[in-house]
Amino acid sequence: MGASVKRIPSGVADFDSIIKGGFPAGSVVLLIGGVGAGQVEFALTSASKLSMVKERPQSAAFMLGPGKDATLPDKICYITFSRSRDEVLQEIQYSFNKEFYGAFKRVVQFKDFSDAYFRNTLVPRSWTGREPDTLFSSSSSENVLESLVDYLDENAPGSMVIIDSLTDLVVSANIDIADLVAVLRGMQRVSKRWGGVIYLVLTDNVLEQRKQNMIMDSVDGALVFEWSRYANSSKRQRYMYVEKFISILPHLNKERIARFATTVSALSGLVVIDTERIT
């Protein structure tokens, strides 16, 4: 018998039950999808539900399911580049119930890199919450990728880290895609020592396919979120499927699972409502 694999639950209970309790510790996971397809909701659900369980450990079986080998992260960190903490909290308050909102607000450690992100742009400092004396955001010479690396070195070990979003980095004129891919490859390597889980949120089709594939190749796993229309109807359904994940795909193939139908509710966040199997 091999050693038990330490897993960190995603907080989407039905999905975790199928993947044996969560993602393997040390994973860098890309959450990619169209606008509103569910990748952001997955990340917010994960952070909120794990925050609730960290505050009330007795709720673990109810909130996360019965995964025996699942391990809570030491802390939960939420990183943004262009959005403020207030904006993210407002989104959760409007979208989910007060328990989600309260636990997220109290537990999650927020890091806003807008100071470095908007440097050398025409965005006024007053728009980013800084002093309005000048157009530029900071006199510091450290760029946003260097700031991100420093923060991860200090905070990522044993943690769940949500980077919202990678889209901000790939569209920035100040960030070279080759430098970003190098950072992601280094992140994937060191994450095995950190032993937590890192979510990277990315909007699909923002990058040309070759560059998007470079990013896909630089992570341990990728969950794809998409919209699909019902035949002869204007209704749409959200779906999630595992595009890449060496430690998860063999089990899904064995169970003949093609993709997961999902929905988002104020009471439960993102949930799996059905499993489509290969016939």
Q: Which pLDDT tens digit goes with each residue over 158-200?
A: 999 999 999 999 999 889 999 999 999 999 999 999 999 999 9
Q: Which pLDDT tens digit goes with each residue over 103-151?
A: 999 999 999 998 888 887 777 777 776 554 444 434 455 789 999 999 9
Predicted local distance difference test score (pLDDT) of residue 60: 87
User: Percent of the chain, pLDDT > 70?
Assistant: 91
- Fold of domain 7-277: Rossmann fold (3.40.50)
Confidence (pTM): 0.91
* Closest CA relative to residue 75, chosen from 143, 16, 164, 151: 151
Predicted local distance difference test score (pLDDT) of residue 68: 55
Q: Which residue has the higher pLDDT, 173 or 239?
A: 239
Per-domain boundaries in the chain: 7-277
